[in-house]
Amino acid sequence: MNGWLKDREHLARMAVIFAGALVLFLVVRAVMVPNGFGTYGHFRSGALKDNASHPLSYAGRQACGDCHDDIVASRKGSKHERIGCEACHGPLSVHADDPDKMKPVLPDAKTICLTCHLENVTKPKSFPQIDPAEHGDGGPCTSCHNPHHPEIS
């Protein structure tokens, strides 16, 4: 055996183990790194699809208007014109997909209006607010106001 190597042979054995471990690591890494990792940046590109494929709960006002064009028309020019339908009626994508599958429940006119219009010092001054003890006769708001066009002419 080569004289130089003779007393370094045990070190060579250790070096082979380290080199082997390194190669193994590189091979395992090459196999295990998820597809599409790094395509758009340091992440798995499939994660974009994962995030985009979450199911909808709110259908969006466009979908509501596709069928309920009469309501859209009735809201024209009112202060409530630009409020999303589901802001009051709740998430209705199931209804929008198949109107027979789910019927929306009519919001309770005594509470839903107060969600926004109950007096509170923190609300912007310009926003119409009422104290139900002083405003109206204690009945549902809808007895005087049309929620889709609340202005009393």
Partner 1 sequence: MESLLHSVQGFIYPDELQLQWSILIVLYPFITGLVAGAFILASLERVFNVEAVKPTYRLALLTALAFMIVAPLPLQLHLGHPERSFEMYLTPHTTSAMAMFGFVYLWYLMAVLVLEIWLDFRKDIVLTARASKGAKRALYRAMALWSDNISERSLRIDDKVGKFITIVGIPSAFLLHGYVGFIFGSVKANPWWSSPLMPVVFIFSAMVSGIALVMLMYQAVNWYRKTAVQMSCLDTIARYLLYAFIIDFSLEMLDLVHRIYEADESFKTLDFMVHTKLYFSQIILQIFVGTLVPIGLLALVQLVSVRERARRIIYGASGVLTLVGIFAMRWNVVIGGQLFSKSLLGYTTYKMGFATREGLLPALILLLLPFAILYLLVKLLPPWPEGDLARKE
Partner 2 sequence: MDSDRREFMKIAGAYVVLTGAASLAWNHIVAGEPEKAPGYDLSGHWWAMTIDIDKCIGCGNCVRACKAENGVLLEPDCFRTWVERYHVHPEDPEHPQVDSPNGGYDGFKEKYKPGDGSKNFFVPKMCNHCAHSPCVQVCPVGATFESPDGVVLVDKTYCLGCRYCVQACPYGCRYIDPRTETVDKCSLCYHRITKGLTTACCETCPTGARKLGDLKDPKDPIHDFLKEHMIHVLKPEMATGAKAYYNDLDGSVR
Q: Which of 9, 20, 40, 106 binds partner 2 (CB under 8 A)?
A: 40
Which residues have CB under 8 Å from 101's CB, separation 6+?
94, 95
Distance CA(32)–CA(28), nearest Å, equals 6
The distance of closest approach from Cβ of residue 89 to partner 1 in the complex, given in angstroms and rounded to an integer, is 27
Footprint on residues 123-152 left by partner 2 (CB under 8 A): 123-124, 127
In the Cβ-directed half-sphere of 42, how many Cα atoms lie within 13 Å?
0
Q: SS3 of 45, please?
A: coil
Footprint on residues 42-81 left by partner 1 (CB under 8 A): 42
Which option in partner 1, partner 2, none does residue 55 bind, with CB closer than 5 to 8 A by kind?
Answer: partner 2
Is 75 in contact with 81 (CB distance < 8 Å)?
A: yes
Which option in partner 2, partner 1, none does residue 10 bind, with CB closer than 5 to 8 A by kind?
Answer: partner 1
CA distances from 64 to 60, 68, 102, 112 (A): 7, 6, 14, 19
Distance CA(71)–CA(107), nearest Å, equals 16
Told to check if 18 binds partner 1 by CB under 8 A, we report yes
Query: Quick one: 20 or 84, whose CB is closer to partner 2?
Result: 84
Which option in partner 1, partner 2, none does residue 45 bind, with CB closer than 5 to 8 A by kind?
Answer: partner 2
The distance of closest approach from Cβ of residue 68 to partner 2 in the complex, given in angstroms and rounded to an integer, is 16
Which residues have CB under 8 Å from 78's CB, separation 6+?
148, 149, 150, 151
Residues that bind partner 1 (CB under 8 A): 6-11, 13-14, 17-18, 21, 25, 29, 32-34, 37-38, 42
Residues that bind partner 2 (CB under 8 A): 32, 34-37, 39-58, 60-62, 82-84, 86-88, 90-91, 115-116, 119-124, 127
